[in-house]
Amino acid sequence: MPSLGGLLKKRRTKDSQDLGKPDSQNHDGSGASMQPASHASPQHTGTGTATGTHENATSIDHIINQEQPKQERVTKGKYSQEDFELQRTLGTGSFGRVHLVQSNHNHRFYAMKVLKKAQVVKMKQIEHTNDERRMLNRVRHPFLVTLWGTWQDSRNLYMVMDFVEGGELFSLLRKSQRFPNPVAKFYAAEVTLALEYLHAHQIIYRDLKPENLLLDRHGHLKITDFGFAKDVPDITWTLCGTPDYLAPEVVSSKGYNKSVDWWSLGILIFEMLCGFTPFWDSGSPVKIYENILRGKVKYPPYLHNDAVDLLSQLITSDLTKRLGNLHGGPSDVKNHAWFAEVTWDRLARKDIDAPYIPPIRGGQGDASQYDKYPEETEHYGQEGEDPYGHLFPDF
């Protein structure tokens, strides 16, 4: 099924594509939900940036400080089109597009996702659209994108989110081919903390991959695209995700739980360290699924022994052995030898230097890390007949 977030996605490779997701933005160089550097609402926020390259990466330990997230926000009815000035398009897709916008109140920059209601209804994405808004409204974490406000007019839905200036981790990985061990470890550790937080709130993310990991001004991650995120206290059955990253229990249409995110973490670490996913096969989803169910992973000889040990305990179809799904929960992942030098509390405070600082001008609406697109000609904020408004009551 296509995700709402899938609306903003391109193909992850020339051949491999998401499970029925429409072509669009977050897939190979244009992310779409972004970040102000401080954690205030658009009436009181900021954004930023810097420069550098990951080649001089050291392991995980240095400086940067930000507050921990606070309580859930109430966003309904908070903003309107008049509160923001459109700057440029950051990405396009089957349901609409994402714009860089500037607040008319604090003059800071945000990402505004615009979804065409008629298309969302036509593609049967009403539930996913409402789920994305609901999930984003519940979360508040340093490594998750923040939703600041939503509204709707007679034609469109609007979501104002962080503008995360540094672009996608996917783009950096493709340019680098593969990451050195300490670099992959840094990003994997931040993702681990984000998954731990989501799972503690009974949320399965279900779409982990480099395309959905954006880099903020300081090089720290923000997970974006919550179109597949779901509140799941126990198990669910929906077949959704990106073929390369699907756990075998999803492929085989069995009920599954939060353990699918830990499988995906294993695939992500493998891709960061190797430059390719373990079950990729000429881009054919069917062949990828067959390989996933077969479960044979070939680990390149250049991988560190600790990395192989961790991966073998994440990329396993045996749920009684998969780290993250055992009695210790996320602590089993965090306590693994591969993460031995990670100081988790400092990492959560962003009190550790990132291995790569995006080459951008902070706080100035610098969208140089995103592809350019033809601009939207439709005038937003139109009034008139609204046959679908009742389907999106929280916007």
Nearest by Cα to 224 from 16, 31, 30: 31
Q: How far apart are CA 61 and CA 152, in angstroms?
A: 44
Instruction: Evaluate the CA torsion angle 132, 262, 350, 170 in order and state its sign.
Output: negative
- On whether the CB atoms of residues 38 and 262 are closer than 8 A, the answer is no
Q: Looking up tokens 């991650």, which residue turns up?
A: 221
Return the active site residues: 207
How many other CB atoms are there within 10 angstroms of residue 364's CB atom? 12
Is 113 labelled a binding residue? Answer: yes
Between CA 273 and CA 283, with CA 277 as vertex, the angle to 5 degrees is: 150
Q: How far apart are CA 275 and CA 177, in angstroms?
A: 5
Please, where are the H alpha helices in the chain? 117-122, 126-138, 169-176, 181-200, 248-251, 259-274, 285-294, 305-314, 330-334, 344-348
DSSP 8-class letter at 352 = S
Q: List residues bridging with 231 in a β-sheet.
A: 203
User: For the chain, how long is the longest CA-to-CA vector?
Assistant: 63
Q: How far apart are CA 79 and CA 174, in angstroms?
A: 37
Binding-site residue ranges for ATP: 113
Name the binding residues.
Answer: 113
